[in-house]
Amino acid sequence: MKVRFWGVRGSIPSPGAHTARYGGNTTCIEVRSDDNSLIILDAGSGIFPLAQELLKQMPVHVNVFMTHTHWDHIQGLPFFTQLYIPGNSVRIHGGYDVVAGRGIEQIMDVQLQYSYFPVREAEMKAEIEYKTLAIGVPVAVGDATVTPLMLNHPVVNFGYRIDCNGKSVFFTGDHEPWPNIYAPDDEGYDEFQQMVDAQQAQLDDALAGLDVLIADSSYTTAEYASKIGWGHGTLEGNIAWGRRLGVKQLICTHHEPTRSDDELERVFAAALANAAMTSVGPHEPQFLLAREGMELVL
């Protein structure tokens, strides 16, 4: 199984000299199973350069798994060139929107209104199919299995575990560890903390034996204090999570768009230095910052 990163920023594309090393496109990850089945995780602006690369491999049969429908994770979908070419097939998977009362089929219906985009879905020539997913129910894609797991974000957000011939990778999408809504001295704190711990333990159990964890690491712990409830994780928190799960690699992604590459490396190094002060097990994960063009081979 191969994993390649095409977009690693969060919130908004941030091109320029200050992001040239790690890239300025928003979230998009390409996964190739051992039989070369194509899985795409999210359709941020990074899906456009991926589409240009896929033009060399026509026709294509693609399974796109959307973690959630916030703009930075869907904005590239109308520019996915393969949607306009006969002979291609694109199956789009995602969650049910309890607010809109609709499944993932609304994703382009909303984006492609003439007020916002000049092409309607009916004009696209590829075979397009939508699959609304159920929590924990696996989906077979070639020789890989993709399992959606519910995570914590202001809208429905699925993280995806992909298993293929004994190797596994999990992408969180946007995820903030479940917080305790009570102050430590409030009456309901202990009871609510038990619920939080049980929720986290359930997720950890679902990720048993994981090889690679790709995690939303937008903030530092210090920054997070003013951003509670925004739905994003921290570098320090994910380093601890990767250790607890015993993964081989932790890939930190969804980089804060105002952070330059130099600043990104600085806060990452500081988080690693702080983590080194705590006890570690015999098999320390490899910790990496996601970078456009980076490829992992499992």
- CA 185 to each of CA 141, 181, 199: distance values in angstroms, whole numbers, following the listed order: 49, 12, 22
The structural domains of the chain, with segments of one domain joined by +, span: 2-297
| pTM for the structure as a whole | 0.96
Cα–Cα distance for residue pair 260/267, rounded to 1 Å: 11
Nearest to 32 by CA among 4, 67, 61: 4
Q: Which CATH architecture has domain 2-297?
A: 4-Layer Sandwich (3.60)
Per-residue pLDDT of the chain (298 residues; tens, 9 = 90+): 999 999 999 999 999 999 999 999 999 999 999 999 999 999 999 999 999 999 999 999 999 999 999 999 999 999 999 999 999 999 999 999 887 888 898 888 888 988 899 999 989 999 999 999 999 999 999 999 999 999 999 998 999 999 999 999 999 999 999 988 888 899 889 998 999 999 999 999 999 999 999 999 999 999 999 999 999 999 999 999 999 999 999 999 999 999 999 999 999 999 999 887 665 666 789 999 999 999 999 9
Strands 286-289 and 28-32: unpaired
Q: What share of the chain is helix, strand, coil (3-state, %, to 5)?
A: 30, 25, 45
Indicate the length of the chain as a whole number.
Answer: 298
